[in-house]
Structure 1
Amino acid sequence: MIKLIIKKLKEKNGRKIYELSNELHIVDIEEFQKIINQLETNNTVVTTENDEIFLLENNIKTGSIKINDKGFGFVRDNNDSENDYFVPANFLKGSITSDEVVYRVETEDDGRSKAVILAIAKRTKKFLVGEIMPSWDGKYLDFHPTENGFKNYRIVMVNKNNFKLEKDQLIKVKIIDIREKKMFTKIVEIIGNSNKAVDRILSIAYEFDVPTEFKKETLKQADDVAKPIDYNNEEVKRRNKIIVDKLLVTIDGEDSKDLDDAIYVEKIENGNYKLYVAIADVSFYVEPRTSLDNEALYRGNSVYLANKVIPMLPKSLSNGVCSLNPNEDKLCLVCEMEFDSSGKIINKTVYESIMNSKARLTYKEVNEFFQNKISTRDEAIQNMLSTARELHNLIEKERDVRGSIDFDIKEAKVILDNDSNVIDIVARSTGISEKLIENFMVSANESVAQIIFEKSLPFVYRDHGKPKDENLIEWYGMLTSFGINPKLNDESKLDPRNIRHTLKEISNQIKDKDECELINITLLRFMEKAEYSIENIGHFGLASPCYTHFTSPIRRYSDLMVHRYLKQYLVNKDLHHLALERNENFIERACNIINETEKKGVNTEREVTKVCMAEYMTKFIGKEYDGIISAVLKFGIFVQLPNCVEGLIHITELGTDFHYDEKMQTMVSKQNKIYRLGQKVRIQVKNADVKKRIIDFTFAKNG
């Protein structure tokens, strides 16, 4: 049957599925659909939204399209992310940005390749967010999408619910149909005022397709399972290593409500240290293939915005029964580790348990204790924290030796008043407690990954690939413009230990902390992105041969999967080949989903911070500040203020005297005046646009 299907598609590709079944005289339609599904899983064919079927061979491919506001597009190959093809405006076939498309690669007379869109495989974007603005003649109200790539469509709005439309409203519309440069939409929601950052926060979440509401079925399931611990439950009764008597504490930010990790450290008789990392057992409450589980998968992770959290799980779980709130018995998974005097893990084990947090500590109070020995907590907790710090110091030294890279990047924190107006932007401060928790969580993640990797079982790994050799060599070359020369040959430059050594050299030679941080950050541009995968390639940045995410199952689906496989492999001993095959198939599919949702979450959080910064800076137009150059690009110079607010000095502000030196990434004048990364400058705030999420600076006249 498969050979017949392929033969027919070679004769005529892109035919309707029902036509193909008729030609092949198919009687069992259900069995036929299974074969088609299998061929699609194997990447042999693809089916489209119009029930067409295409054979993927030679120059017929699938990819994701991005359309420019000028009307043309670029399609990125699904099987080769490095490859994208230009799509002329007249070959888009009604596709819009983010569509999964079927396309054919053609070669032009001049030898260049282009793509022709044949069909839309999947329309991922169902809604658009935009603002209401008067038409050019002032007679009508038009819809203007906030995203790029839609300006070439005439957008027709259907207002079935009779919303009262006004200028500067932010609205959400559902895409109904696209025909001949016309997009037909239905208004589904009035979001708020386009000039207010707080209203734009929700619109940005919509823009990146981050779901903001749970389905009713999901909420009901969450409420149904969010019950106190039933100690007669068989899965609860089998927990024979209970740690409720241990002095476990949580250490989080002051505003945190989803507390999914607790720690306890003790020094044992042989002089070694024992670390307990207890993590909320979310997998007990969220069963596979339920509405609760499906929605968690397609959310992928919680998204933390300026004034709200868009959680992966409903609050009855995330802030309630799963959260390790103080003085409450909680189901957990524990990674118990023994460290020797050099900070190396010499024993590790993972097991189900029940815990009880003895205190809900904050980073701020623990930092105060470490710095000034001031605490209102009882002596036992203070002693435990002191022991934890001793272990943290040993782990730091061990990580230093093996070459784990520490960027220590400051982040912006948005401060809102009770009416959700942006009243301040500050640099988020971090101290020893934040680094201590990070080190303990990394140790647990490494231990869990190593335990399963040694058993050669299907698992979820957090991979961070080695940077391309030429990228690292280019980074080292760029450092010479700062007078930094670590004196390494090209081969040693590729060793993570020497990268850490170089970062220390930067810290030693560049005394200004802000300038040093910005130079360190440049390394990120030359490194690969971390991703989830079934294949373990190690984590380059952490200099770890084996790494996963185990410690945050309330807010990351990857960690929830890890918990399930730990139970299956270590507790239930379910190692049947069919179960392992199912795991393998699911992990590969899930990793594709959660890698994408992670990108969405990061982009959403970044854009929300930008819009809040823009609103905040509208109060300071014309004011002057000292800043530091954070990036030099072809189109201008980015300057960062001490509170992390960043603005652009456009190249037109510099006059015709300056040109961009791409190799050195500097802006140079004919008189040899140079603007480079890390340089202190004085700027004046020229403009701040909430709608465009941009801040414009110019150099202060007396700067």
Structure 2
Amino acid sequence: MENKSLEEKKKIIYEFICDARYVPMKQKELAVLLQVEKERRPELSAALEELLAEGKLQLSKRGRYYKAEAKTVTGIFTSHPKGFGFVSVEDREEDIYIGESDTKDAFLGDTVQVGLKGQPDGKRQEGVILQVLSHGVTEVVGTFEKSKSFGFVVPDNQRITRDIFIPLEHTRGAVSGHKVVVELTDYGAGRKSPEGRIIEILGHSNDPGTDILSIVRAYQIPMEFSEKVLNQAERIAKPVSEADRQGRLDLRQEVCVTIDGEDAKDLDDAVSVRKEGENYVLSVHIADVANYVQENSALDWEAFERGTSVYLVDRVIPMLPHALSNGICSLNAGEDRLALSCIMTIDSRGKIIDHTIAETVIRVARRMTYTSVNRILEDRDAADRREYAALVPMFEEMKELAELLRRRRRKRGSIDFDFPETKILLDEAGKPVEIRPYERNSATRIIEDFMLAANETVAADYYWQAQPFVYRVHEKPDAKRLHKLALFLKNFGYSLHTGGDEVHPGEIQKLLDRLEGTPEEAMLSRLTLRAMQKAKYSTDCSGHFGLAAEQYCHFTSPIRRYPDLQIHRIIKENLRGRLLGGRVEHYEAILPEAAKHASETERRADEAERETEKLKKVEFMEQHIGEIFEGVISGITQYGLYVELANTVEGLVHVNSLEDDYYEYVEHAYELRGQRSGLVYRLGQRVKIRVKGTDRFLRTIDFQLAMNSEDSERALRRVGEYE
């Protein structure tokens, strides 16, 4: 083995040990048989140690080496633009790392069999793909480019690292610059490119709306409803009749209102509050969508597949056709509507002491907006208070009750992450003209508090009845993430009290309270949020950590969320005494898959929404290249500094664009430290940046620091002043 590289030595040793005639041996015996000279035996030892670490060899108790038995798992492969990838395995917290040489031509989304390598202490599990079992991605969205004898598509998704070859006969008349959908016919192997045929031309990349449409198609979100589904919706979207009202609690005389955003069209919840002595009676009325969308109908299957409505910057893709979502299932003012109502009696301490869940018929008195209610309650606007004079006392009681509910919820430890959402305004051509943070106000909090109360009440009711149900669950934070967060918080003088590997949600809320109003509030709050698990749907009621609730569900939005529609059916059958025997077995059989699918479609919608926001932020900042703004360092990696501006736009200051210095990334402190200059960049630090460039294709924004430039004070504009 003289003059061989370490990899070559490892190969020779491994092949020797894999030989059918091999008998397990100690290192000394291996050295003799492989004719390794005494002075080179440390090299043999190093090679054996690496083979053990990689999981290819095992060591017996008596110190004999033998071939490791393959440990395999099955999961979904996600490629990375740099060539390596990860495999996510169900019920495994951390993904398995796959090195570039171990991917075996696996394609994004493939179901693969993975052989596990050794896992050094404290490091991520590594693996090698042994076999591709099935392909998960069948269609790819990208930009078409044509040459003389063929075409190819550059995928929009950066995780698909190779262009897709398109034979001329399968280009469908596309020209260079067209955004297209490609059906894959060959996934490629070795040096061979993937191959496909164009099945849809979305438009030219410069056409208005094509950018968003490309994202929608990339996530395979269905946009159009079939004629069968539309016809079914039209047939059932009839005005409420006397027959419809039969057997329902008639609440049409009760004064209730909807409170939504100005541009909302699917009004699926209405509320009312009245005092009875010291107690409050809160009624939360939810559109009875299940009355119109019958189980196993074409409408039902379409809603199940979509899972949720998707809210993008330039459009809403509804779960149900407009004849329902904006029509008979929308609680429009002055019109009779069928509802499922949760009527709660709440004492002066905010405790829900009694409740009724009933099928009802209601008539909304007024359609209110968050803006107008906030003006009434917080701004004490005289004109609004005159216009809605009859309702003002109820709004005042709503505010009192919401504060009681919120106070009680926070007392038990509920966490309130109060991040501003991004509001992006577009012109008629789809071009972003303004980006600003969209803050919650008094009215939005009132509705949130009332919906939380109804969701929790309904979940507790059905939990104690032990009926089949779909819960909204939020698991406790991962112990490793929690430990890392606690260590980092110490750098800023904050502590997070944990009991071993666990933390009570109340401790996190105490931390957020201490952070309120500090310069580092937004940054540390986001880091804390990232340490949390993601909420999901489940048939097991394991509780909601973030809300500190033992039982919680989604009951209040059946127009736009399938789990809500599903549990409405269960509630209605139970109220009518039909949730017996076979029907219980039916729901027990279908609900686990329904919960899993709903969680998946929710993640798909969230990702598509984030991608469209990123795209429009990049397009917006294209107009401001060269300008200087002030921001906060919101993230630090070995690649550089992420800086967030006041309008929620985030960009990267690459480490190689910093001062003429070598910067070391200090992971535990989230810092970049200059080795010569002594400069330190920390999370939460305010900096001035110049917009250096943007990339629509990658959806990235590049900044450079402008802290010492002579023109920084003169050119500085805070984001918001130029809008």
TM range (shorter): 0.7 to 0.9
CA distance in 1, matches of 2:653, 2:546: 33
Q: CA shift at 1:65, angstroms?
A: 1.7
RMSD, aligned CA: 2.6
Q: CA shift at 1:229, angstroms?
A: 1.9
Asked whether the equivalents of residues 637 and 650 of structure 1 are also in contact (C-alpha less than 8 Å), the reply is yes
Asked whether the equivalents of residues 319 and 559 of structure 2 are also in contact (C-alpha less than 8 Å), the reply is yes
1:327 alignment counterpart: 334
Change (3 A) 1:564 1:208: same
CA distance in 2, matches of 1:126, 1:673: 49
Residue identity matched to 1:533? S
Change (3 A) 1:106 1:390: closer
1:498 alignment counterpart: 507
* Within-5 A mapping of 1:293-442: 293-374=300-381, 375=384, 376-442=386-452
Asked whether the equivalents of residues 196 and 615 of structure 1 are also in contact (C-alpha less than 8 Å), the reply is no
2:271 alignment counterpart: 263
Residue identity matched to 1:175? L
Asked whether the equivalents of residues 73 and 92 of structure 1 are also in contact (C-alpha less than 8 Å), the reply is no
2:570 alignment counterpart: 565
CA distance in 1, matches of 2:580, 2:153: 56
CA distance in 1, matches of 2:474, 2:506: 16
TM-score, length-scaled by structure 1 = 0.85
Residue identity matched to 1:582? H
CA distance in 1, matches of 2:82, 2:645: 34
Tell which structure's C-alpha radius of gyration is larger.
Answer: 2
Change (3 A) 1:183 1:227: farther
Asked whether the equivalents of residues 374 and 442 of structure 2 are also in contact (C-alpha less than 8 Å), the reply is yes
Change (3 A) 1:573 1:668: same
1:52 alignment counterpart: none
CA distance in 1, matches of 2:119, 2:273: 69
2:674 alignment counterpart: 669
Secondary structure in structure 1 of the residue aligned to 2:281: strand
Asked whether the equivalents of residues 158 and 187 of structure 1 are also in contact (C-alpha less than 8 Å), the reply is no
Task: State percent identity of aligned pairs.
Answer: 36
Picking from 682, 687, 693, the partner of 2:693 is 687
CA distance in 2, matches of 1:109, 1:61: 15
How many pairs does the alignment contain? 631
Q: CA shift at 1:584, angstroms?
A: 1.6
* Within-5 A mapping of 1:35-74: 61-69=73-81, 73-74=85-86
Secondary structure in structure 2 of the residue aligned to 1:74: strand
Residue identity matched to 1:145? P
Residue 218, structure 1, aligned to residue 229, structure 2:
yes
* Within-5 A mapping of 1:191-206: 191-195=202-206, 198-206=209-217
Q: CA shift at 1:212, angstroms?
A: 1.7
Change (3 A) 1:664 1:388: same
CA distance in 2, matches of 1:617, 1:611: 10
Asked whether the equivalents of residues 150 and 168 of structure 2 are also in contact (C-alpha less than 8 Å), the reply is no
Secondary structure in structure 2 of the residue aligned to 1:609: helix
Q: CA shift at 1:481, angstroms?
A: 2.1
Contiguous gaps of at least 5 residues in structure 2: 1-68, 713-723
CA distance in 2, matches of 1:433, 1:555: 21
Residue identity matched to 1:542? L
Residue identity matched to 2:646? P
CA distance in 2, matches of 1:581, 1:304: 35
Residue 230, structure 1, aligned to residue 244, structure 2:
no
Residue identity matched to 1:228? P
CA distance in 1, matches of 2:514, 2:296: 51
Q: CA shift at 1:395, angstroms?
A: 1.1
CA distance in 1, matches of 2:294, 2:136: 27
Deviations for 1:296-315, whole angstroms, at most 9, x for unmatched residues? 11211111001100111111
Change (3 A) 1:684 1:591: same
Q: CA shift at 1:60, angstroms?
A: 6.0
Residue identity matched to 2:372? E
Residue identity matched to 2:78? K
Secondary structure in structure 2 of the residue aligned to 1:380: coil
Residue identity matched to 2:516? S
CA distance in 1, matches of 2:178, 2:547: 46
Residue identity matched to 1:245? Q
Asked whether the equivalents of residues 171 and 187 of structure 1 are also in contact (C-alpha less than 8 Å), the reply is yes
Q: CA shift at 1:484, angstroms?
A: 2.8
Q: CA shift at 1:645, angstroms?
A: 0.9
* Within-5 A mapping of 1:96-115: 96-101=107-112, 103=113, 105=115, 114-115=127-128
1:22 alignment counterpart: none
Asked whether the equivalents of residues 425 and 434 of structure 2 are also in contact (C-alpha less than 8 Å), the reply is yes
Deviations for 1:434-456, whole angstroms, at most 9, x for unmatched residues? 11110000000000000000011
1:586 alignment counterpart: 590
CA distance in 2, matches of 1:87, 1:492: 31
Residue 120, structure 1, aligned to residue 133, structure 2:
yes
Q: CA shift at 1:620, angstroms?
A: 0.5
CA distance in 2, matches of 1:79, 1:405: 26
Asked whether the equivalents of residues 283 and 564 of structure 1 are also in contact (C-alpha less than 8 Å), the reply is yes
Secondary structure in structure 2 of the residue aligned to 1:672: coil
Residue identity matched to 1:120? L
Residue identity matched to 2:226? K
Secondary structure in structure 2 of the residue aligned to 1:245: coil
1:40 alignment counterpart: none
Secondary structure in structure 2 of the residue aligned to 1:440: helix
Change (3 A) 1:698 1:179: closer
Asked whether the equivalents of residues 150 and 166 of structure 2 are also in contact (C-alpha less than 8 Å), the reply is no
Change (3 A) 1:107 1:526: closer
1:84 alignment counterpart: 96
Secondary structure in structure 1 of the residue aligned to 2:290: helix
CA distance in 1, matches of 2:178, 2:243: 55
Contiguous gaps of at least 5 residues in structure 1: 1-56
Secondary structure in structure 2 of the residue aligned to 1:482: coil
Deviations for 1:64-83, whole angstroms, at most 9, x for unmatched residues? 12234455543322353535
Deviations for 1:549-572, whole angstroms, at most 9, x for unmatched residues? 000111111111111111122333
Residue identity matched to 1:285? Y
Residue identity matched to 1:661? V
Change (3 A) 1:600 1:489: closer
* Within-5 A mapping of 1:120-269: 120-121=133-134, 123-133=135-145, 141-152=151-162, 154-157=164-167, 162-166=172-176, 168-178=177-187, 180=189, 181-195=192-206, 198-233=209-244, 236-239=245-248, 241-269=249-277
Secondary structure in structure 1 of the residue aligned to 2:532: coil
2:616 alignment counterpart: 612
Secondary structure in structure 2 of the residue aligned to 1:165: coil
Asked whether the equivalents of residues 96 and 126 of structure 2 are also in contact (C-alpha less than 8 Å), the reply is no
Residue identity matched to 2:678? N
Deviations for 1:33-53, whole angstroms, at most 9, x for unmatched residues? xxxxxxxxxxxxxxxxxxxxx
Residue 472, structure 1, aligned to residue 482, structure 2:
yes
Residue identity matched to 1:548? C
TM-score, length-scaled by structure 2 = 0.82
Residue identity matched to 2:79? I
Q: CA shift at 1:109, angstroms?
A: 13
CA distance in 1, matches of 2:589, 2:70: 26
Change (3 A) 1:197 1:125: farther
Q: CA shift at 1:489, angstroms?
A: 6.2
CA distance in 2, matches of 1:562, 1:284: 12
* Within-5 A mapping of 1:460-609: 460-485=470-495, 488=497, 490=499, 494-507=503-516, 510=518, 512=519, 515-576=520-581, 578-609=582-613
Secondary structure in structure 2 of the residue aligned to 1:174: strand
Asked whether the equivalents of residues 205 and 604 of structure 1 are also in contact (C-alpha less than 8 Å), the reply is yes
Change (3 A) 1:315 1:120: farther
CA distance in 2, matches of 1:609, 1:242: 43
Q: CA shift at 1:162, angstroms?
A: 4.0
* Within-5 A mapping of 1:438-453: 438-453=448-463
CA distance in 2, matches of 1:682, 1:292: 53
Q: CA shift at 1:419, angstroms?
A: 2.1
Q: CA shift at 1:89, angstroms?
A: 5.9
